Amino acid sequence: MKTNRLSAAITKALNAQMTNEAHNAQIYLSYASWASAEGYDGIANFLFRHENEERNHMMKILEYILKRGAKVEVTAIPHPGPDPTGVYDCFEKVFKSEVENTANIYRLVEMSMAEKDWATWNFMQWFVKEQTEEETLAIDLLDRIKIAGGAKATDSALYAFNRDLETKPDDAVLAQDVTVDKP
């Protein structure tokens, strides 16, 4: 008897979403490295934690595909793109990549609804909530940099922002408290 509980289309879309999560992880990894090299250790720490979260999201999807008896396809991860030109640009790009990922998640929700694959629909609801939290966090941080002058923020304002990210807990669940089972 066939034990695969996912359609070919949903399997393909979930595998593509694994790559999207890995791509977002690479973006955070790349920006964190950039921030660290620029001397913004608080910002780097924040971005490294989020890199880990995105990788956990990828693993969560991988485990779901396997659990449903379907095939995981691990592919190449697209390049994260150029370094940010500054702190404001960095967080604008973070926000943009989160919005793009939300659109990908919504497409999967739509697909699972159209197929009446309620298990996948239910599974995807966790990601809908997670994207809302991540977008909120990115908007909040962007607002704070905007108040400090945006792309023209002074060194002392950026110093304070960097210190803030070093010591303040995130609004979203902290990546260091997260495991593959409980992302």
Q: Which regions of the chain does DSSP assign to beta strands (E)?
A: none
CB atoms within 10 A of CB 57: 27
User: Other CB atoms closer than 10 Å to residue 52's CB: what's the count?
Assistant: 17
Least distance to ligand OFO from the beta carbon of 39, Å?
26
Q: Work out whether 93 is an interface residue with ligand OFO (CB under 6 A).
A: no
Task: Out of 130, 145, 162, 165, name the contact with ligand OFO by CB under 6 A.
Answer: 130
- Judged by CB under 6 A, does residue 134 bind ligand OFO? yes
Tokens of 150: 């945006």
**CB of residue 27 to ligand OFO, shortest distance in Å:** 9
Q: Distance between CA atoms of 151 and 165, rounded to whole angstroms?
A: 18
Instruction: Estimate to the nearest angstrom the gap between the alpha carbon of 171 and the chain centroid.
Output: 14
Query: What is the rounded distance in angstroms from the CA atom of residue 31 to the CA atom of residue 37?
Result: 10
The CA angle 8-11-13, to the nearest 5 degrees, is 110
**Quick one: which of 11, 40, 54, 70 contacts ligand OFO (CB under 6 A)?**
54
Q: Which stretch binds ligand OFO (CB under 6 A): 36-44, 72-80, 130-138, 148-156?
A: 130-138
With tokens 């955070």, the residue in question is: 28
Query: 22 vs 153, which CB is nearer to ligand OFO?
Result: 22
Q: Write down the least CB distance from residue 37 to ligand OFO, Å.
A: 23
Enumerate residues 9-38 that contact ligand OFO by CB under 6 A: 21, 24
Nearer to ligand OFO, 57 or 68 (CB): 57
Among 11, 15, 19, 101, binds ligand OFO (CB under 6 A): 101
Q: Residue 135 has which token pair?
A: 């977008």
- The C-alpha atoms of residue 87 and residue 45 are separated, in whole angstroms, by 14
User: 72 or 99: whose CB is closer to ligand OFO?
Assistant: 99
Q: Given the rule CB under 6 A, which residues bind ligand OFO?
A: 21, 24, 54, 57, 98, 101, 130-131, 134
